[in-house]
Structure 1
Amino acid sequence: MIIVATRQMGEWAAEIRDDEVVFRFAPPAEDPDAAVELPRVWPGRGLGVLESALPGLRAALGEVMKTPRYWRGRAANRPGPGWQAPTRDPEDGFVYLAGPAEARSTSAGYQAVPSFTVALADIRDLRIRVTAYLAS
């Protein structure tokens, strides 16, 4: 199920597949820094998102939570270990959240990726962490 993009989602797109959501980030093609702006994922350990892209991610998480598939998936699966409080790296402008994000890459360390997955059962906790960070 593809989530129809809203203006608030900005460069983010989301697709629900079975018991997970694939999030894609696509900065404008004419942006010379597009590759540097991609989310960073350390499979199974954490996620890094450019601070300016967090409001769009929060909107995408909210749109996922509005779907019946989210609620069915959440009821059928137990949440993972949870997401930790976000921390901002002032040098690169990214906000890092330790938690159960996945990417196709299996390498150690944070790698720039155009898409990553989060289990449906972990969406709510991630949205809470992002929202709290943006409110502070």
Structure 2
Amino acid sequence: MIVTVTPRMGAWTAEVRDHRAIFRFSPPSENLTALGELPRVWPGRGLGVLGTSLPGLRAALGEVMKTPGYWRGRAASRPGPAWGTPWRDTEDGFVYLAGPAGRAGPAAGYQAVTCFTVAAADIRDLRIRVSGYLHRP
């Protein structure tokens, strides 16, 4: 099920499939510097999102939580490890969260991606962490 895009989602789109949500990010520009805006995922270990793109991700997470597929997936699976406290890297402007983004695999380190998955059971905790980060003084 494709989630209806709202203006608050910005460059994010989402789809719910097989007890997982797939989040896609399309940078506003198609030049080479846009690669530096892509989310970063360390499969099964963490997620990094450019600080300016974080409000759109929070909105996308909220829209996913409104779908029946999210609720079915949440009921059918158990949460993975809890998402960690977000922290901002002042050098690259990304906000990083340790947690179950994507499927664990042999890859080491964060890699730029255009899309990543999050299990339905892990979406609520991710949204809470992102919202808390965005609302801190």
User: How does the TM-score come out when normalised to structure 2?
Assistant: 0.94
- Number of aligned positions between the proteins: 136
Shift of 1:51: 0.2
Residue in structure 1 matched with residue 19 of structure 2 by the alignment: 19
Residue in structure 2 matched with residue 62 of structure 1 by the alignment: 62
Residue in structure 2 matched with residue 81 of structure 1 by the alignment: 81
Quick one: percent identity of the two aligned structures?
Answer: 69
| 3-state SS, counterpart of residue 128 of structure 1 | helix
AA partner of residue 107 (structure 1): A
Matched-pair contact (CA < 8 Å) for 1:5–1:13: yes
User: How does the TM-score come out when normalised to structure 1?
Assistant: 0.95
Gaps of 5+ in 2: none
| 3-state SS, counterpart of residue 101 of structure 1 | coil
Shift of 1:69: 1.2
Shift of 1:67: 0.8
Cα deviation, 1:12-40, whole Å, max 9, x if unaligned, reads 00011111111000012345521000000
| 3-state SS, counterpart of residue 27 of structure 1 | coil
Matched-pair contact (CA < 8 Å) for 1:39–1:48: yes
CA gap 1:39/1:7 in 2 versus in 1, 3 angstroms: same
AA partner of residue 5 (structure 1): V
Gaps of 5+ in 1: none
The CA RMSD measured in Å over matched residues stands at: 1.5
